[in-house]
Amino acid sequence: MQKKSNPSEEDATPSFDDLLTTKQAAALIGVSHKGLENRRSGYGPPGPPFLKIGPAVMYRRADLLKWAAIREGRRHAPVD
């Protein structure tokens, strides 16, 4: 009998399809790639989480969408 893997463990490991370059990530969330690079380097407000894989910088699609949703919520938050 083959042991089934835990679905939550599978979800925790992104596939390469879920990883985006800086330019792809910027296009997905509607910012310039330079702006995303600046946020990653500590200039301006913090950007979304990223991964360093050797010399490459990659972003998880889920992290980008979550970051963008939080950012969008702040933009439309009611002002007291």
49 occurs within a structural domain: yes
Domain residues for the domain of 22 are 17-75
> What CATH number is attached to the domain comprising 49?
1.10.10
Residue 46 burial by Cβ neighbours in a 10 Å radius (0-12, 13-18, 19+): exposed
Indicate the number of domains in the chain.
1
The Cβ of residue 9 has, within 10 Å, a number of other Cβ atoms equal to 8
Q: Over the stretch 10-22, which tens digit does the pLDDT of each residue have?
A: 455 656 679 999 9
Is the pLDDT assigned to residue 6 strictly greater than 80? no
8 occurs within a structural domain: no
3 occurs within a structural domain: no
Between β-strands 51-53 and 56-60, what pairing exists: parallel, antiparallel or unpaired?
A: antiparallel
Is the pLDDT assigned to residue 74 strictly greater than 90? no
80 occurs within a structural domain: no
55 occurs within a structural domain: yes
* pLDDT of res. 37: 93
State pTM to two decimals: 0.70
5 occurs within a structural domain: no
* pLDDT of res. 33: 94
Q: Over the stretch 31-67, which tens digit does the pLDDT of each residue have?
A: 999 999 999 998 888 899 999 999 999 999 999 999 9
56 occurs within a structural domain: yes
